[in-house]
Amino acid sequence: MRTLTFLTIGQAPRPDLSEPMEAHLPTTARVRHAGFLDGLTRREIELRYGATEGRATLLTRLADGSSVTLDAEAVGAGMQTRVTRVEDDGADVVVLLCTGEFPGLRTRRARLVEPDVLVTGYVGTVLRGSRVGIVVPLPEQVTEAREKWQAVVQDPAFTTASPYAEDDSALHAAARTHLDAGADALMLDCMGYGARHRQALRAAGLTVPVLTPGAVVGAALGPLLS
């Protein structure tokens, strides 16, 4: 029996992120959950990893359901230690529940699944030649996202809408902006976006392909554990 650990940059567990992917796993897989911020209070999180003006950010959710914005560099500096810990705890496959870039992460024997790499490769292949509108959670993430996507998508365009908003009005507006500009596919670039968000856009009348990271990653996990 092989063990897969879902590692969120927030606090575990995150069933809203992991359950759609677990549907693709063989019944023999053992699933565990871990969080980069596990065991920390909001005050401790803000002191150690809180967003810094002018620096790249990440958005995630805590165990109490609230969201928090983090300094991407500070999270990246500590992520290797967390990856190593879950591998030491017996993980055969480690899945990061974040589409942020974490250069240099490594494991000794476990498979490390980084959604950022999988998703950009998928979009660059399957949607080659398409006009892809990209939605990210926060305005301050657009600059970093542009650097990532400009090598994959021709003339990438960006709008913002938090996946943790109380309603879907911002997401509807973000998607409509892309469609009005001629986009023929949408990429929701955060692990926080899932089937619920796709369904909300379908209910609003959108018919173009809407991709979410969890759907792409989930389809790739089964063969790693079979």
HEC letters along 81-121: HHHHHHHHCCCCEEEEECCCCCCCCCCCCCEEECHHHHHHH
Q: How far apart are CA 40 and CA 38, in angstroms?
A: 6
pLDDT tens-place string over residues 18-61:
998 998 899 999 999 999 999 999 999 999 999 999 999 999 99
- Same structural domain for residues 101 and 160? no
Asked if residue 226 has pLDDT above 80, the reply is no
- Same structural domain for residues 40 and 85? yes
- Same structural domain for residues 99 and 9? yes
Question: Rounded to the nearest 5°, which phi and psi values hold at 144?
Answer: -65, -40
pLDDT at site 225: 81
- Same structural domain for residues 189 and 221? no
pLDDT tens-place string over residues 78-123:
999 999 999 999 999 999 999 999 999 999 999 999 999 999 999 9
- Same structural domain for residues 179 and 82? no
Range of the domain at 31: 3-114+215-225
- Same structural domain for residues 25 and 102? yes
Among residues of the chain, what percentage have pLDDT more than 90?
92
Got the DSSP string for 37-83? TTT--HHHHHHHHB--TTS-EEEEE-TTS-EEEEEHHHHHHHHHHHH
Instruction: Give the CATH number, domain containing residue 143.
Output: 3.40.50.2300
- Mean pLDDT along residues 127-155: 94
pLDDT tens-place string over residues 149-180:
999 998 999 999 999 999 999 999 999 999 99
The model carries a pTM of 0.92
Element (H, E) at 175: helix 169-180
Q: How far apart are CA 132 and CA 121, in angstroms?
A: 14
Q: How far apart are CA 136 and CA 145, in angstroms?
A: 8
- Same structural domain for residues 220 and 109? yes
Give the least confident one: 80-84, 134-138, 207-211, 221-225: 221-225
- Same structural domain for residues 98 and 42? yes
Asked if residue 222 has pLDDT above 90, the reply is no
Instruction: Give the CATH number, domain containing residue 32.
Output: 3.40.50
Q: List C-alpha distances in Å: 97 to 102, 114, 154, 172, 184.
A: 12, 8, 26, 24, 27
| Mean pLDDT rounded to a whole number for the chain | 95
- Same structural domain for residues 64 and 76? yes
Q: How many domains does the chain have?
A: 2
**How many Cβ atoms are within 10 Å of 26's Cβ, its own excluded?**
13
- Same structural domain for residues 208 and 219? no
Among residues of the chain, what percentage have pLDDT more than 70?
100
